Structure 1
Amino acid sequence: MQTDCRILEATMKRFWFLLNTVRYLKLSQLFYQVFYRVRKRRAKIQSEPELRGALGPWPGAQFLQPASVDGKTFTFLGQTARLGDDWNHPSFPKLWLYNLHYQDDLNAKGSEDRRELSAYLIDSWIAANPPAEGNGWEPYCLSLRLVNWVKWFSWLESQHLKREWLISLSRQADSLERQLEFHILANHLFANAKALVFVGVFLGGKQGNRYLYRGLDLLGKELKEQFFADGAHYELSPMYHSILMWDVADLLALKQASRLDVLNSEAKVWEECFVKGMEWLRAMVHPDREIAFFNDATLGIAPTLEDLEEYGQKLGIQLPPSYTPQTLSGRILQASGYSIIDWPGNHRLIADVATVGPDYQPGHAHADTLSFEFSLFGQRVFVNSGISQYGDDAERYRQRSTAAHNTVEVDGENSSEVWSGFRVARRAKPFDVKIDNNHSGISLQASHDGYRRLRGKVIHCRRWFATDESLMIEDELQGNFQRAVAHLHFHPDVTVEHEGKSCFRIRLPDGKSLILELSDSWPNLVTSHWHPGFGVSQKIQKLSVEFSGPRLNTQIRWSSS
């Protein structure tokens, strides 16, 4: 009987989550969700494809390391496996198979020295993946692989392009055009549009023109929709933002390689997007120049800031000089909602005072509102969890939860109702966000209403107050609650030691240290995990600080001498 009640309760909760997720979707998303479920995937049998002959050797950059040295054994997401003839074997994780089907090795570092292997990979893929069958014919896989094929084909003389390669390219482009991801939108639709433009530049005739102009039309709309005025990609994941920056740079490289007049006017918009986006990314990295972990973010998946700066330089794009703080300074990235406090001496605080992302596509969002990350003397000290996997299981849920981030959890609930692998029901909304720079220091404050849905109608208010050698974090919970816990996660390279009931010494690898003191509370130093890569989980120390009342003060002090 108790088991039946639990099942019923879980079913009702999931149904309630679903209702509160669907109400944010666009009608077009709902339509295409149904349409693509009932419409059978197929690839049109193509006549002999016509080449446009306008694409020269690919001038773009590379950032990925090759995943295979023999075309049979591959390493993706920290997992190495030997591939047989089945490119869709169910024993492999789906995301691993997706990476296999992207065929990024065609344009990985050193690919110019692996021409025979690259040709083998293309032949092997065609032989093992009949039209419209398997993971490789899903639209996102199609999009990434089509771009990789076009880049690689651009290096070959037309007489060296096999007929079966061109026919397969044409079939794949047709299949993509028939299943553009209007049900998902966001970075997926952007990737679809980019792929159509690439194939449209490579292929000629009516078919090539159709792909080219449809892709350009989609790109124009999505650039306006997906990028904020401050340069941020609207999914608010530094990792996906970096991927989109590479996509934009690729489009600019395509323009240089083809010199088609139709791309000239588009390139002005692409370059402006790239420059603004790079400025945003520079704000969202730590002094180690790697991204902060907000929403879905980890290392080793997207190009680094350095990779992107090198790509921009190769394309002749002039980026403004990097910002170097001379004094304590703070700013809010108004359009996207993150805030930055910089100190001289390689200290940086990055605070999430943003929404969870676009209402209709928060798939990469976490319940991390009012969380923060902090580096001191160039060393990350406070870190959010990051991600090590996708999917729909308890670990994916934990990594998206409020408790996996440096913020406050109330009554065991998440600030935003993250559920399933990529869904969010009711969401926290920040308000009263303001920053004050004055002679005594910098005050950043914000509140969110994510816990107003609970019986106690709780509002979480947080204030960061920074001086030259300290950071105070003041939390206040307005409303009624049973239990509230502030979570503070420490980078694995730092150690934390008790120096009293509510006082801790944090030691950095270079020997420097800082003192953390808490107001009346019940702190508990426990073990948690940090995920700096897919398939990677590192043990870290974490403070779980239980409130003894409605307020909690956390003071961090250090010496710059």
Structure 2
Amino acid sequence: MNGPDSFEFVGETGTLANGWNDQNKSALWVYNLHYFDDLRRAGSLDRRPWHSALIARWIRENPPVEGAGWAPYPTSLRMVNWIMWDMAGSELGDEARRSLANQAGWLARNLETHILGNHLFSNLKALVFAGSYFSGETADRWLALGLERLGREVREQVLSDGGNFELSPMYHAIFLADLLDLVALDRVFPGRLPRSLVEDISRTAGRMLGWLAVMTHPDGDPPHFNDCAIGIASGLAELKAYAVRLGIAQLTVGERIEGRGATAIHLAESGYVRLEGSGAVAFCDVAQIGPSYLPGHGHADTLSYELSVGRRRIVVNGGTSCYGTGPIRLHERGTSAHSTVVAEVNSSEVWGGFRVARRARPMDVKLTRTADGLSLSAAHDGYRRLPRKPVHHRTWTMRANELEIRDLMFPEIPAVARNILYPDVSKELPEGILYDVPTGSEGREPAFYAQRFGVRLATSAIDVRLTKGEAVIQWRWN
């Protein structure tokens, strides 16, 4: 909130002048309007009068169960935010508590079991919050309903290496914050949650912190794999500080391999590898597109990568600026918006905003020591629907001051190895950073980079056209 009825969400500003369901705004903006996330933002105590008035206005102008605000997902987020606001010392008041109870009762009858994933988990979390916050038989039923599946969903949605199963660093951070909230709830209402569940959630949060630490650039923010935008979820530093306040320690995850002048951390179940040289880090995607039954946040980004040298991003994926079903959404999910090999079709058949048909399958993932560093190789069959059924093979070799990326397409088809440059370095690389293209035909093409929702920045990509089915680019730094 930047005023009593003025807001900025997903890079877009607006007011309540046209009500709570403004058709001139994106569906995502309208959803954010009903979340009440500002109740927990930095400096929220200074905006308490705005928040109190806004809660009262929401109750007056959103009768049950009309409008977007009563959809299960925004209802779940709003319930938790109202409860935590009250727990932190603000006063909801009787009218708001009655509304909150009505929202909980409605949510209990409308769990998003058809969507699953983070939507269902948010529903369950909200019922656990409401069942702990209120008392009595009805509250006990809400609590029992939430707890019935909560532990099972934690085990389903968090992989053994600590990664969230949707394989998006942004949704990983959101889910981690949810777990920390549940531990905080237990501190305020001890005994409402089973001790074994709290201990399991705490351990899982520690693993998720470890995963996020591996998957964070030196600038403090994550790489853009699948749906991911900076500024939506809390970053590593904020989440780590929250965990420390709750007594939760970050755990070590993944397999660490030391090479001459290089280090790798392999998050095998998630399918990501962090390669480090002297002063540089690369993030490599050898992952599935996401859960087989829930690919809605997946991109056609198999075998893509991002590269930072020092604290500066050099090579990036295109990011996510919007949801919906329009051409920008389709492009941002497509292969050409990622730093990987691009052919005439997407490596995974993304469509409809949140749908995926024929999907690339990564295979032959190998991480080995070389005489002067570490080598990561993998392949995918996402182009098998093309004539001759070609397979893309990629090898990243990290040395002390060099990252070499070798691409092979067999059988040979027309394709380019795309390397999207971070906008700040697209016109001129920082001093001490250079690249060479010993194999393939180099060109520059315009590209876009969406670091945040609602913002698309013009940049360029180094496109290396494969020659006889092969391309090589070598990044060097000092």
Do these two structures clear the TM 0.5 threshold for a shared fold by scoring above it? yes
Distance 2:125 2:377 in 1: 39
Distance 2:95 2:192 in 1: 30
Structure 2 match to 1:532:
451
Counterparts of 1:371-520 in structure 2, within 5 Å, are 371-410=304-343, 412-481=344-413, 483-496=414-427, 507-508=429-430, 511-519=431-439
Q: CA deviation at 1:524?
A: 1.8
Moved over 4 A (4+): 320-327
Name whichever of 548-557 and 283-292 sits farther off: 548-557
Is the 1:298–1:533 contact (alpha carbons within 8 Å) kept by the matching residues of 2?
Answer: yes
Work out the percentage of aligned pairs sharing the same amino acid: 41
Read off the aligned partner of 1:94 and give its amino acid letter: A
Read off the aligned partner of 1:450 and give its amino acid letter: G
Is the 1:180–1:189 contact (alpha carbons within 8 Å) kept by the matching residues of 2?
Answer: yes
Distance 2:341 2:252 in 1: 37
Is the 1:68–1:105 contact (alpha carbons within 8 Å) kept by the matching residues of 2?
Answer: no
Q: CA deviation at 1:328?
A: 1.3
In the alignment, does 2:458 pair up with 1:554? no
Q: Which runs of 5+ in 2 are unaligned?
A: none
Select the structure that is richer in strand.
2
Alignment partner of 2:115 out of 184, 187, 210:
184
Distance 2:346 2:150 in 1: 35
1:324-368 deviation line (CA, Å, top 9, x unaligned):
9994112321111111111232x1011000000001001100000
Read off the aligned partner of 2:199 and give its amino acid letter: K
Alignment partner of 1:337 out of 267, 271, 274:
271
Structure 1 match to 2:94:
163
Q: CA deviation at 1:527?
A: 1.8
Counterparts of 1:26-425 in structure 2, within 5 Å, are 67-70=1-4, 72-84=5-17, 86-155=19-88, 161-260=92-191, 262-320=193-251, 327-345=261-279, 347-410=280-343, 412-425=344-357
Read off the aligned partner of 1:111 and give its amino acid letter: S
Read off the aligned partner of 2:418 and give its amino acid letter: H
Q: CA deviation at 1:515?
A: 2.5
Query: Residues 320 and 327 from structure 1, CA distance in 2 versus in 1: closer, same or farther, beyond 3 angstroms?
Result: farther
Query: 3-state SS of the aligned residue for 1:493?
Result: helix
Query: 3-state SS of the aligned residue for 1:99?
Result: helix
Number of equivalences? 475
Query: 3-state SS of the aligned residue for 2:363?
Result: strand
Is the 1:331–1:435 contact (alpha carbons within 8 Å) kept by the matching residues of 2?
Answer: no
TM-score, normalization: structure 2?
0.95
Read off the aligned partner of 1:340 and give its amino acid letter: R
Is the 2:366–2:376 contact (alpha carbons within 8 Å) kept by the matching residues of 1?
Answer: yes
1:245-276 deviation line (CA, Å, top 9, x unaligned):
11111111111111125342211011111110
Name whichever of 131-140 and 433-442 sits farther off: 433-442
Q: CA deviation at 1:161?
A: 4.6
Structure 2 match to 1:34:
none
Name whichever of 530-539 and 233-242 sits farther off: 530-539
Q: CA deviation at 1:493?
A: 1.6
Is the 1:255–1:264 contact (alpha carbons within 8 Å) kept by the matching residues of 2?
Answer: no
Q: CA deviation at 1:547?
A: 1.9
Task: Calculate the aligned-residue CA RMSD, in Å.
Answer: 1.9
Distance 1:331 1:227 in 2: 18
Distance 2:426 2:323 in 1: 29
